[in-house]
Structure 1
Amino acid sequence: MTKHFTSSSPAGYEMNQRQTRGLTAAGLAIVAVTYGLARYCFGLFLPDIRLEFGLTPELVGLIAGLSYLGYLAATFAGSWLSTMFEPRLPILLGGCAAAAGMALIAWSPTPAFLALGVFIAGTSPGLAYPPFSDVIVRHTEQSRQNVVYAWINSGTGFGVAFAGPLALYAGGDWRLAWLVFAGLALVITFWNGFTLPRRSPHLETGPRKVSLWILLERSARALFISSFLFGIVTAVYWTYAVDLLTTLTGNPRDAILFWIVLGIAGVTGCFAGGLVNRWGLGRAYKLLAFLVGGAIGTLPLLAASTLGMFLSAACFGAGFIVMTALFGMWSMRIFRAAPSIGFGFTFFLISLGQGAGPVLSGFLIPVTGQSMLFFGAGLICCALALVNTASGRPAPA
């Protein structure tokens, strides 16, 4: 029996330019706290956390994987709530989860509570991020959609860039940093509550049923396979890059500066919409796959110099944020009948890979070493450039 979601998104309702800018700013901010802080900053503080709790590589991998497991658990919930009710509900729930999870990390007295906090924080982008595809498709002009989405998606870079200076200020007091992150998440959640558009009943044209079988659309296979592999290889960088640099250089301050460069470079993701409009999705995708793969694979070699590690951070930060934007645009091009369903499943697969990546890495590192792990992940990412993005076509409802 075919299952359906009934969409309540008011198709055809477009916001004026001022409202669109407000929506973009609020969306960027909540992506910054849910993705940039709640999900990806565990790696930034990993050396201090590992030292305080005496964590083994295997346990580090399992705890880091919980962040991605939390995302997996929440992704379909976010897409379902967005489709059945309205996008603002899961977005606000995501903001609350970020605040609660990061507060728990800051307080955690044992590795078990730390793991729980990481899991809860990890659910936040799964709830908050996919529904923005519904907001964008239903509430903005089609000519603006790539640009608006690219700016919102670049919030990850802003969050990562903000975390670095705070880590320098906090020094070894990683708990203080996570407490500040939690408070910021709460403020931004309230901001989104006032900014996000509500459902407009007078613009409704009746319930719109969309079959979940659209996820089996043949044109989406390349998208889904690429998403999963991209998640695996990039999780290696997010989780272990700072730890690798601290081990190789013995200088934790340079490792934090590396993280700041990574985040600042990620801010360039806001230009992804213009890049795709000018170059096309296929050309941009191939270039970014090589850029991200090169940054991952060469980090152990570039770590010998400060300039080299910063170059790797800049290439990965810019490449990763733009690449995720490309996956989002690719999915919205195929699944226009149900944007948050196809979009949510695409990022579900990225996170499935990102959840498996740290766990597999935790068991591989004692055997291969961190440097060889980075080399292998970089090669796999470069191989993604062989995928053909031109096969995507809108899936029927």
Structure 2
Amino acid sequence: MNANKLILAGLPMIAVTYGLSRFSYGLMLPYINEAINMTQSTSGIISSMSYVAYCIAIVAAMMFSGRVTSRLMLMAAGLLSIIGLGVISVSLTPIGLGAGIFLAGMSTGLSSPPYASIVNATVEAREQNQANAWINSGTSIGTAFTGAIVIMMVDSWRETYVIFMVIAMVVLAANYKVLPHKSTIEKKRSAGFVKQEWKQSLQLILASLLLGISSAAYWTFSRDFIVNLEGVPAYLGDWLWIIIGLSGLLGGTAGIFINWFGIGSAFRLSVVTLSTASLLLGSSPGSPVVGFLSPFLFGSSYVFITGVLIVWGVSVFRTNPSIGLGLPFLMLALGQAAGSIFSGIVAGSFGYHTLFLAASVIGYATIIFKYQSQ
């Protein structure tokens, strides 16, 4: 399959499942709280539902990669996104909201591994790193689009989620037409080889887990923090998600950077940049410069580092790209699920300044992990 054609189908699907279905919650939170009054702890728990659902779905995606075609899995992801967004739009209680967030979160877990399998099976080897990175950058497109829609719709969050649902329908229809009907079912591998791959994945697992914990604070509470600061221009809160999303397009260059400098250098650069974004937000949140620089660093480095984790995982699990992508994303989501709850507790007890400083320390700590080539 032509790499560009696959990117044109995969990038919008990732934009819908990640940007619109999953990460939009943090942006909508101030408006949702006006209609469904929630404590910070409750907001954190609901956010964690998305990550828990993601974990369940991505495990299912890895388990069924040998039985179900990638195309069928992606159709299921699109349907769950549509249903989840619809439920969110009509939610009147935290329970209903949590249910919608959960369903939308499942769509995210089912969407990423299948694309890695399709890329591995249909795209030329020299183009695979870049194809995976650009499809993954759909997260940034979805995030930027979410931010732009919210500015135009002001606080009409229910109508915004209806718009997201319609977009998800269109993207699902496009993928239904474009994706290959055959192949991309993983084959069984020898137990010895698989055992060696799992052994080499230990540092990848730990790095992904800690990065999930670190990034959860930013995704869930960064905008709520900024919009409630006294003396901070309103436009900083309005443009936060757009800055994160647009800067995330730089993350699409992860494949090129890795091809030039290697996975290890790419990982270290992205860890430092991601952690510095939280450090700046926690130390000088009222500065207009920080108000632009922090989300720029976070958006570009988050998409970049997820691209690095994809390439790292696929390079370790050479015989099973679904696990290669699914495993680090699973650990990232587990970290984000725990991190969302932890963030809500820390923010409620010690304030947002302490939360983002703690998140930066956890992020910097992951630099000790190193890529091990086969």
The correspondence for 2:217, drawn from 231, 236, 257, is: 236
Letter of the 2:115 partner, please give it.
F
Determine if contact 2:216/2:336 at 8 Å carries over to the other structure: yes
Query: Which of 122, 134, 156 is matched with 1:151 structurally?
Result: 134
Residue 48 to residue 332, structure 1, CA distance change in 2 (3 Å): same
Structure 1 stretches (4+) deviating beyond 6 angstroms? none
- Deviation per residue, 1:249-270 (Å, 9 max, x gap): 4655421211111110011111
Distance 2:313 2:274 in 1: 20
- The answer as to whether partners of 1:83 and 1:340 remain within 8 angstroms in 2 is no
- TM-score, length-scaled by structure 2: 0.95
Which amino acid letter does the alignment assign opposite residue 40 of structure 1? F
- In 2, distance between residues paired with 1:272 and 1:54? 40
Cα separation, partners in 2 of 1:200 and 1:343, compared to 1, 3 Å: closer
Any idea what the Cα deviations from partners look like across 1:96-137, whole Å, max 9, x if unmatched?
111110111011122211110000000011011111111111
Aligned equivalent of 1:352: 334
Cα separation, partners in 2 of 1:60 and 1:252, compared to 1, 3 Å: farther
Paired with 2:114 and 2:187, the residues of 1 have a C-alpha distance of 18
Does 1:100 find its partner at 2:83? yes
- Rounded Cα–Cα distance in structure 2 between residues aligned with 1:223 and 1:62: 26
CA shift in 2, pair 1:200/1:305, >3 Å: closer
Deviations along 1:263-313, one digit per CA (max 9) or x if unpaired, are: 100111111110111111111111110000000111133321222211001
CA contact (8 A) 2:15 2:143 kept: yes
Is 1:163 the counterpart of 2:146? The answer is yes
Describe the SS at the equivalent of 2:73.
helix
Alignment of 1:364 with 2:346, yes or no, is yes
Q: Is the 8 A contact 1:99 1:182 kept in 2?
A: yes
CA distance in 2, matches of 1:286, 1:195: 36
Give the conservation status (yes or no) of the 8 Å contact 1:220–1:392: no
2:28 equivalent in structure 1: 45
> Which among 299, 309, 312 is matched to residue 330 of structure 1?
312
* Cα pair 2:57 2:107 within 8 Å, conserved: yes
- 1:230-250 per-residue CA deviation (whole Å, 9 max, x = no partner) reads 111101100000011012146
* Partner in structure 2 of residue 60 of structure 1: 43
Alpha-carbon distance in structure 2 between the residues aligned to 1:139 and 1:195 = 13
What's the CA shift for 1:152? 0.2
Gaps of 5+ in 2: none
Q: Distance in 2 between matches of 1:392 and 1:51?
A: 50
Q: Which amino acid aligns with 2:276?
A: G
- Does residue 138 of structure 1 match 2:124? no
The secondary structure found in structure 2 opposite 1:45 is helix
CA contact (8 A) 1:245 1:303 kept: yes
Taking the aligned partners of 2:115 and 2:41, their CA distance within structure 1 comes to 35
Find the aligned partners of 1:207 and 1:61 in 2 and give their Cα distance. Answer: 39
Count of residues in correspondence between the two structures: 372
| Offset at residue 324 of structure 1 (A) | 0.4
Query: Displacement of 1:58 after TM fit?
Result: 1.1
Give the Cα–Cα distance (whole angstroms) in 2 for the partners of residues 324 and 207 of structure 1.
25
Q: Counterparts of 1:17-56 in structure 2 under 5 Å?
A: 19-56=2-39
Tell me if 1:381 matches 2:363.
Answer: yes
Indicate the residue corresponding to 2:179 in structure 1: 196
User: Could you tell me how far 1:52 is from its partner in structure 2?
Assistant: 1.6
Change (3 A) 1:270 1:207: closer
Moved more, 92-101 or 323-332: 92-101
1:119 and 2:102 are equivalent in the alignment: yes
> Which residue matches 1:5?
none
Q: Sequence identity of aligned pairs in percent?
A: 33
Contact 2:44 2:343 in 1 (8 A): yes
2:265 to 276, 283, 295: 283
Amino acid at match of 1:269: G
Instruction: Tell me which amino acid in the other structure corresponds to 1:80.
Output: M
Unaligned runs of 5+ in 1: 1-14
Q: Write the distance in 1 (CA, Å) between the matches of 2:235 and 2:166.
A: 25
The alpha carbon displacement at 1:384 in A equals 1.3
RMSD: 1.8
Equivalent in the alignment of 1:304: 286
User: After superposition, where does 1:205-284 map in structure 2 within 5 Å?
Assistant: 208-209=188-189, 211=191, 214=195, 217-249=198-230, 252-284=234-266
Give yes or no for contact 2:283–2:357 (8 Å, CA) kept in 1: no
The amino acid across from 2:103 in the alignment is: I
Per-residue CA deviation, residues 343-373 of structure 1 (Å, 9 max, x unaligned), is 2122111100011111111122222211111
